[in-house]
Amino acid sequence: MADFTREYWETALSSIVLEGRCFIDGEYRCAKLGRTFARARPMDGQPGAVLARGEVADIDAAVASARRAFESGIWRHKEPGEKKRILLAWADLIRAHAEELALLETIDVGKPVLASLNVDVKLCADGIQYYAEVTDKLYDEIAPTGRQSRVLVRKVPLGVIGAITPWNYPMIIDAWKLGPAIAAGNSVVLKPAEQSSLSAVRLASLAVEAGLPPGVFNVVTGYGEEAGKPLALHMDVDMIAFTGSTEVGRLIMGYAAQSNIKRVALELGGKSPLVVFDDADLDAAASAVAWGCFYNSGETCHASTRLLVQRSVQQVLIEKIEAITRSDITLAHPFEPSAQIGALIDEAHMHKVLGFIADGEEEGARRAFGAERVLAETGGYYVSPGVFVDMTNDMSLARQEIFGPVLATISFDTEEEALRLANDTIYGLAGAVFTRDMDRAHRFSEALHAGTVWINTYDRSSFSTPFGGFKQSGFGRDRSVHAIDKYCDYKTIWQQFG
């Protein structure tokens, strides 16, 4: 294995191709109007990729290609074993190009390249493999209608899926959508976030190299308003699988209603509570809070951004969180092997995060440590992990999804109060409870209104567990075999005898 020093990645960067064209019908294509847009690298503010600025005409071309592939049956009618072989080959190619993909991801989004390599690329390949292996294990049903008939209840793919994804874990979230949608036999048009298109375009070319027929997976790069909106409004798209903010999710529902009543699945924002009772293992809780909130620079939908702590242990817990953050969660240039967290996605987002912090202080939240711009001399967009205390749940830092490394701490006295505070949010994506009292852990986890609840841990996940939210965190679940259902519907075929 290579020695992944900073110099190693600098050298690799000098020889890498930043392919920023769309990928439609099995080939790279410039935007029809010939327009492009440029990105600055979050890690140092230097010029990054130049990307095709896809618009209506490009979406039309990609949807037409996806529709042709679907109607021809070239993919959906393949033998299940053959589908599985192709998807497994795709997963293998992703692994074979892991370093290249990790570099593309880091140039785009500023996370440590070793995290891109060991987490994002790995989980993307694992996700495609998971659904490859499901492909030849899907059964249809025969309905119990009596001896005079044989009634098949078939699970059939929907057709053309529009996938619209965010920039925080681009490859992982793409795989969560591509895996089940394609395994089920659909064609996909993916509009990645404007900040993170490079890995999506490369994934599409690797898919064709693995044997996926042209048109089954297309990528149109561009802005949300110009490429995402026409995809969501398209009359020949059967479903939009969206991950992103609650604000844009609301628009997507509107576009579906205004066009062809296409189906919509929404994985949206969060403001997840992590609740610590005074009988908890405080070392374990402190580690879970620090990593749960600050990993990926806090740019995580299910980050544990609201710490609810029993008043008697607040002081000691905050001290432990600070110690872990300072000793373990190294913020550095993403090519440094020591980096645990890197830069925020772009300059505008960094200023937005700093604005939230300033507003919070004005409202009376007290900074315990961190939450400042750092490494400004690099030209990159870095904010240090930070904790606020002396807060109430109605302060903006406790209610808004900041999407930066900022923890809001609120203390409570009783279990009832903790539960009320935990559920007092428009979101319902995730949450956790730390206590040694297992009756309470069970009671609390049942009553917490969230798609995932962890007990005495945080952010454990597996492809076998569904992921998604309640309330304004959206609906529809990614991951697990249940995700396949989202991309299919039932079709009844009734045969009468005699």
Which residues in this chain contact ligand NAP in the complex, by CB under 6 A? 164-168, 173, 191, 193-195, 223-225, 228-229, 232, 243-245, 248, 251, 267-270, 301, 401, 403, 429, 469, 473
Asked if residues 279 and 435 have their Cβ atoms less than 8 Å apart, the reply is: yes
By C-beta, is 320 or 471 nearer to ligand NAP? 471
274 to 356, 442, 469: CA distances (angstroms) = 20, 15, 16
Q: Is 475 left (phi over 0), alpha (psi -120 to 50) or beta?
A: beta
By C-beta, is 35 or 68 nearer to ligand NAP? 35
Asked if residues 356 and 349 have their Cβ atoms less than 8 Å apart, the reply is: no
Work out the widest C-alpha separation in the chain, in whole angstroms. 83
Place of tokens 């994002």: 120
267 labelled catalytic? yes
378 phi/psi in degrees, rounded to 5: -80, -15
The DSSP symbol for 378 reads: G
The DSSP symbol for 458 reads: -
Asked if residues 132 and 138 have their Cβ atoms less than 8 Å apart, the reply is: no
By C-beta, is 157 or 228 nearer to ligand NAP? 228
CB proximity list for 98: less than 8 A, separation 6 or greater: 117, 121, 122, 125
Give the residue among 219, 217, 299 at the shortest CA–CA distance from 42.
299
Smallest gap from Cβ 228 to ligand NAP, in A, equals: 2
Three-state SS for 341?
strand
By C-beta, is 131 or 255 nearer to ligand NAP? 255
User: Which entry of 22, 293, 301, 488 is annotated as an active-site residue?
Assistant: 301
Smallest gap from Cβ 427 to ligand NAP, in A, equals: 9
Smallest gap from Cβ 385 to ligand NAP, in A, equals: 18
Amino acid identity of 375?
L
CB proximity list for 471: less than 8 A, separation 6 or greater: 425, 426, 427, 428, 449
Smallest gap from Cβ 163 to ligand NAP, in A, equals: 9
Smallest gap from Cβ 194 to ligand NAP, in A, equals: 3
Smallest gap from Cβ 471 to ligand NAP, in A, equals: 12
Place of tokens 């490429």: 227
By C-beta, is 150 or 352 nearer to ligand NAP? 352
301 labelled catalytic? yes
Asked if residues 309 and 280 have their Cβ atoms less than 8 Å apart, the reply is: no
Smallest gap from Cβ 167 to ligand NAP, in A, equals: 5
By C-beta, is 165 or 340 nearer to ligand NAP? 165
By C-beta, is 8 or 475 nearer to ligand NAP? 475
Q: For the beta carbon of residue 144, count every other beta carbon within 10 angstroms.
A: 6
User: Which entry of 267, 299, 336, 415 is annotated as an active-site residue?
Assistant: 267
Amino acid identity of 48?
G
Q: Which residues are catalytic?
A: 267, 301
